[in-house]
Amino acid sequence: MEYTPNDSRSTNKRKVVAVVGGGLVGALNACYFAKRGFAVEVFESREDIRQAKIVRGRSINLALSHRGRQALKQVGMEEKIVTKGIPMHARMIHSLNGTRSPIPYGKKGQYILSVDRTNLNKELLTAAEAYPNTKMNFGHKLLDWSFESGAMTFLRPDGSEEQIKVDLIVGCDGAFSAIRKQFLRQSRFNYSQTYIPHGYMELTMPPHNGDFAMEPNFLHIWPRNTFMMIALPNLDKTFTCTLFMPFEEFEKVTTEDQVIEFFQTYFPDAIPLIGVEALKRDYFRLPAQAMVSVKCSPYHMGDKCVIMGDAAHAVVPFYGQGMNAGFEDCLVFNEVMDQFNEDFSAVLKEYTRVRVPDDHAIADLAMYNYIEMRAHVNSKWFIFRKYVDNFLHFLMPKTIIPLYTMVTFSRIRYHEAVKLWHWQDKVINRGLSICGVMLVVGGTYLLLKHVPRNSSSIPQQLWTQAQTLKWF
Residue ranges in contact with ligand FAD by CB under 6 A: 20-26, 43-46, 62-63, 141-142, 172-174, 178, 200, 242, 309-311, 317, 320-324, 326
* Residue 373 interacts with ligand EGO (CB under 6 A): yes or no: yes
Name the strands in the sheet holding 239-246, side by side, starting at the edge strand that comes first in the sequence. Answer: 100-104, 90-94, 218-224, 227-233, 239-246, 190-205, 289-297
Task: Report whether 75 contacts 131 (CB < 8 A).
Answer: no
Residue from the set 244, 250, 262, 266 that interacts with ligand EGO by CB under 6 A: 244
Q: Which does 222 bind (CB under 5 to 8 A by kind): ligand EGO, ligand FAD, none?
A: none
Q: Which does 172 bind (CB under 5 to 8 A by kind): ligand EGO, ligand FAD, none?
A: ligand FAD
- Report the alpha-carbon distance of residue 88 to residue 82 in Å, rounded: 12
- Report the alpha-carbon distance of residue 185 to residue 243 in Å, rounded: 37
* Residue 21 interacts with ligand EGO (CB under 6 A): yes or no: no
* Residue 377 interacts with ligand EGO (CB under 6 A): yes or no: yes
For residue 240, what are the β-bridge partners? 204, 232
DSSP state string for 47-101: --TTT-----SS--EEEE-HHHHHHHHHTT-HHHHHTTSEEE-EEEEE-TTS-EE
* Residue 43 interacts with ligand EGO (CB under 6 A): yes or no: no
Applying CB under 6 A, the span of 160-168, 333-341, 368-376, 410-418 interacting with ligand EGO comes to 368-376
Name the strands in the sheet holding 161-165, side by side, starting at the edge strand that comes first in the sequence. Answer: 141-145, 151-155, 161-165
For residue 102, what are the β-bridge partners? 92
Q: Which does 141 bind (CB under 5 to 8 A by kind): ligand FAD, ligand EGO, none?
A: ligand FAD
Strands 39-44 and 16-20: parallel
* Residue 385 interacts with ligand EGO (CB under 6 A): yes or no: yes
Binding residues among 309-328 for ligand EGO as defined by CB under 6 A: 317-320
CB of 97 to ligand EGO, least distance (A): 19
* Residue 174 interacts with ligand EGO (CB under 6 A): yes or no: no
Smaller CB separation from ligand EGO, 127 or 403: 403
Smaller CB separation from ligand EGO, 229 or 307: 229
Nearest Cα neighbor of 111 from 79, 93, 86 is 86
Smaller CB separation from ligand FAD, 321 or 424: 321
* Residue 86 half-sphere exposure toward CB, CA atoms < 13 A: 22
The enclosing H or E element of 17 equals strand 16-20
Long-range contacts of the stretch 424-428 (C-beta < 8 A, 24+): 424/399, 424/400, 427/399, 427/400, 428/392, 428/400
Task: Report whether 294 contacts 171 (CB < 8 A).
Answer: no
Residue with the CB atom nearest ligand EGO in the bound state:
320
x/- mask, ligand EGO, residues 86-115, rule CB under 6 A, reads -----x------------------------
Residue from the set 227, 382, 409, 414 that interacts with ligand EGO by CB under 6 A: 382
CB of 283 to ligand EGO, least distance (A): 18
Binding residues among 404-423 for ligand EGO as defined by CB under 6 A: 404
- Report the alpha-carbon distance of residue 233 to residue 90 in Å, rounded: 13
Applying CB under 6 A, the span of 181-189, 330-338, 371-379, 422-430 interacting with ligand EGO comes to 371-379
CB of 165 to ligand EGO, least distance (A): 40
Residue from the set 59, 177, 240, 369 that interacts with ligand EGO by CB under 6 A: 369
Nearest Cα neighbor of 73 from 61, 81, 83 is 81
Measure CA 139 to chain center. Answer: 28
* Residue 221 interacts with ligand EGO (CB under 6 A): yes or no: yes
Give the count of residues interacting with ligand EGO (CB under 6 A): 18
Measure CA 292 to chain center. Answer: 12
Which residues of this protein are in contact with ligand EGO, per CB under 6 A? 63, 91, 219, 221, 228, 230, 244, 317-320, 369, 372-373, 377, 382, 385, 404
